[in-house]
Amino acid sequence: MAKKTKRFRLKIYLFTFIFFLSPLLAEKSLVEISADMILGNQIVKNVPTDGTPHILNILRNGNDLSKSHKNDLRELGFRFEKNSVSHLRNQRLSLSHETEHFLLHYEISGSDAVDTEDLDADGIPDYVNQVADVFTFVRTSLVDSMTYDPPPTDGMEGGSDKYDIYISNLPSQYYGLAYTTSGATDDNACASYIEIRNNYDASWFQDNTELDNIKVTAAHEFYHAIQFGYDCSEEIWLMESTAVWAEDQIYDEINDCYRYMNSWFNSPHKSLNDASNWYGSFIFFQYISEHLGGAETIHEMWNLAKSYGIQSSPNDIATINDALLLQNSSFESALVSMSIANRLMTSNPSAGIYTYEEANDYPINSVPNSGTYLFSGEMVIERLPSVQDFSSRYFDIQTTEPLIVSHSGNTNEVEMNIILSLNNGDVVVRKGPSVNIDPEIGIDWISAVVTATSSASSSYVFDLKLSQGYSEDFSATLIYPNPFTPSAKNAYATIDLLITEAQRIQIEIYDLLGRKIQSWEKRFSEPQTEQYIWTGKNAKGNKVSSGIYFVRITGKEKIILQKVTVLR
């Protein structure tokens, strides 16, 4: 283990693994659950999975196990010392194959044997060559193309200074396993090695070809190896969800990540970092990489995790937030935007930032919905089902009358957005604790998205109120992002308008001294949506200074005034 590398900060939900474990297992300690998973005492409903989280839990917390568990794990190579737990590498593998960056260990007889077919007659089984080629491609993708640091060296522990891959007979349903080991010099970094299956013949691997299984395993486990070099003690959910994301970045055509989506979308009220969401939460990082700086933003998260070093409390959310600040966004903003995109589930460019490139292919059985409420003119107050931290609830609303939708939650902890899908195909998103809706604008459907953006509590309960609203001649969403940094890449503030009747609209921006610095004006002859962007420049094209500015929107019947902050 790397010097001073601290034990993983395991939360109470941490290893009630995936979403299939029985109530009996929930009564066990977290490390007991991991031990049973590795020992094969608990099978996860015939679905393949990654064993790395359980391995890490045992390496960090294994001394808390019973004598019986320890004895069983010793048979698998675990060693329990007074102040540490380690794992002996597979000593049964007598053969090796060396490439530029990897040393692959394998066997051609016994339980660990690979298929000995050697069509190119190079003396190396084709299966071993195939594994070598895949890991080489994965390393090239991550280290050479995406510029991640290569995994730390283990100091010749595997017989060379190359990264060790052990091809062996793994526990029944595991794609692969990554073990941390000694060798790294940074306090929060670990060297590692990987075990991968000697075949993928079992029934639960048959959704993919053997080669595709090797590919997603190599991408996932080698990304873990890279993560260990940045921050070996990072939160498990962040490691797992970004490893699934990495699979799809490297092998986009395989889409093995799709297997996690329906479970994730069936429970959007569960926390982003809940154990049941470890893998499905890749969708959050997929959203970030598509809209907030690309794959480089995920890379920057790991750079920041490394720079933070060992801390006494979790830094996962802070790491994500700081990386997103560089993209003129934040963890909270990205979480809310992703939640909206998850309801729309579209790749139509007209939905703007609320899209996924592969939305039409995602195997989502149904849109998320925790209830449908009908408004007929009389006030309705409904106690909403609870929502966990960093998660969302969705509620459909039906009305033929103008109404105001509001909630009783703390606005510092809960954010509500109303999605209006219009009959003309446009989408309007309105944000706030209280939102007016006028059905005369031509609405196909309405969905309220309530997102818990804080970890102040593990669960939030509040009321949804539907009351009499008013007719609108035009409306405007809150300016976003706010504050915004014009100097950031592609940064600008957006003003979205919904025009419901013919009129002239004027938009003016004033500074604190009341001086008009920018303006737009347009006459609308029919109902429509319109978007304006402000790049932080005045009417002469010069950059404005940091500070507070006021946006005044004037229509035929009303005036809307909003405040926006510019940061440089």
For the ranges 148-152, 303-307, 512-516, which has the lowest average pLDDT? 512-516
Q: Residue 7's pLDDT band (boundaries 50, 70, 90)?
A: very low
Q: Residue 8's pLDDT band (boundaries 50, 70, 90)?
A: very low
pLDDT at residue 45 greater than cutoff 90: no
For the ranges 216-220, 227-231, 510-514, which has the lowest average pLDDT? 510-514
The pLDDT of 318-340, averaged and rounded, is: 95
At 493, is the secondary structure helix, strand, or coil?
strand
Contact 433, 412 (CB under 8 A): no
Continuous segment of H or E residues that includes residue 466: strand 463-468
Instruction: State how far the Cα of 290 lies from the Cα of 252, in Å rounded to an integer.
Output: 13
Contact 546, 552 (CB under 8 A): no
Q: Residue 47's pLDDT band (boundaries 50, 70, 90)?
A: low
Encoded amino acid at 257, one letter? C
Please tell me the predicted confidence (pLDDT) of residue 43: 62
pLDDT at residue 551 greater than cutoff 60: yes
Residues 6 or more apart from 284 whose CB is under 8 A from it? Answer: 241, 272, 334, 335, 338
Summary mean pLDDT of the chain: 88
The pLDDT of 347-353, averaged and rounded, is: 87
Please tell me the predicted confidence (pLDDT) of residue 374: 94
Q: Return the percentage of the chain with pLDDT > 90, whole number.
A: 59
pLDDT at residue 19 greater than cutoff 70: no
The pLDDT of 446-461, averaged and rounded, is: 91
Domains of the chain: 23-250 (no CATH), 372-473 (2.60.120.1050), 476-566 (2.60.40.4070)
Please tell me the predicted confidence (pLDDT) of residue 16: 31
Inter-CA distances, 483 with 211, 444, 480, 492, 562, Å: 48, 32, 8, 10, 12
Q: Residue 24's pLDDT band (boundaries 50, 70, 90)?
A: very low
User: What pLDDT digit, counting tens, does each position of 309-319 carry?
Assistant: 766 667 899 99
Q: Residue 90's pLDDT band (boundaries 50, 70, 90)?
A: confident
pLDDT at residue 221 greater than cutoff 90: yes
Q: Residue 284's pLDDT band (boundaries 50, 70, 90)?
A: very high
